[in-house]
């Protein structure tokens, strides 16, 4: 009986070790939303997109003094979603401040479960002091807007 318990204990440990080795570890995903828009000028029309951590993207357009109208939608490729997930973990995204008051401007809002940051900039002349991580997010946004 004693030998039986020892064998069962060893088998149990072996089975647990083997089963744990088959568990796939995935990078931690965070809940985030990125809202990017640009516009202004003579017409006051603003176009933009809302990107969510589930991979959904809604393209929209907003006319002066009206609510946004959804014009298109897509789903991100897994590589794009993984890239954005990594970038959204950076503290710099939520610390950068800029308030551009030009005729034509771009506005970005980053948010996750606990943090939010909103800033504007000149899309024709991205500020030199803008953190590289935000420039990388903007590059991804441009790829998404071109449906790449």
Mean pLDDT of the chain: 85
pLDDT in tens, 36-58: 999 887 777 889 999 999 999 99
2 contact partners, CB below 8 Å, separation of at least 6: none
Residue 90's φ and ψ, nearest 5 degrees, are -75, 135
Is 102 or 82 the better-scoring residue by pLDDT? 82
Query: Do 98 and 130 touch, CB atoms closer than 8 A?
Result: yes
pLDDT in tens, 64-77: 888 889 999 999 99
> What pLDDT sits at residue 98?
92
Distance CA 48, CA 51 (A): 10
Question: In the chain, what are the domains?
Answer: 32-145 (3.30.1560.10)
Query: Do 101 and 89 touch, CB atoms closer than 8 A?
Result: no
> What pLDDT sits at residue 102?
82
For residue 86, pLDDT beyond 90: yes
Query: Do 37 and 46 touch, CB atoms closer than 8 A?
Result: yes
Query: Do 107 and 101 touch, CB atoms closer than 8 A?
Result: no
């Amino acid at each position: 009986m004693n030998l039986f318990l020892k064998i069962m204990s060893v088998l149990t440990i072996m089975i647990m070790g083997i089963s744990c080795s088959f568990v796939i570890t995935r990078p931690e995903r965070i809940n985030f939303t990125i809202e990017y828009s640009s516009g202004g000028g003579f017409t006051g029309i603003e176009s933009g997109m809302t990107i969510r951590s589930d991979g959904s993207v809604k393209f929209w357009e907003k006319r002066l003094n009206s609510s946004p109208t959804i014009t298109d939608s897509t789903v991100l490729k897994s590589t794009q979603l993984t890239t954005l997930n990594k970038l959204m973990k950076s503290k710099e995204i939520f610390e950068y401040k800029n308030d551009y008051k030009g005729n034509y401007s771009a506005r970005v809002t980053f948010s996750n479960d606990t943090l939010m940051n909103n800033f504007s900039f000149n899309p024709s002349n991205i500020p030199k002091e803008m953190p590289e991580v935000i420039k990388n997010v903007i590059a991804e946004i441009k790829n998404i807007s071109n449906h790449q």
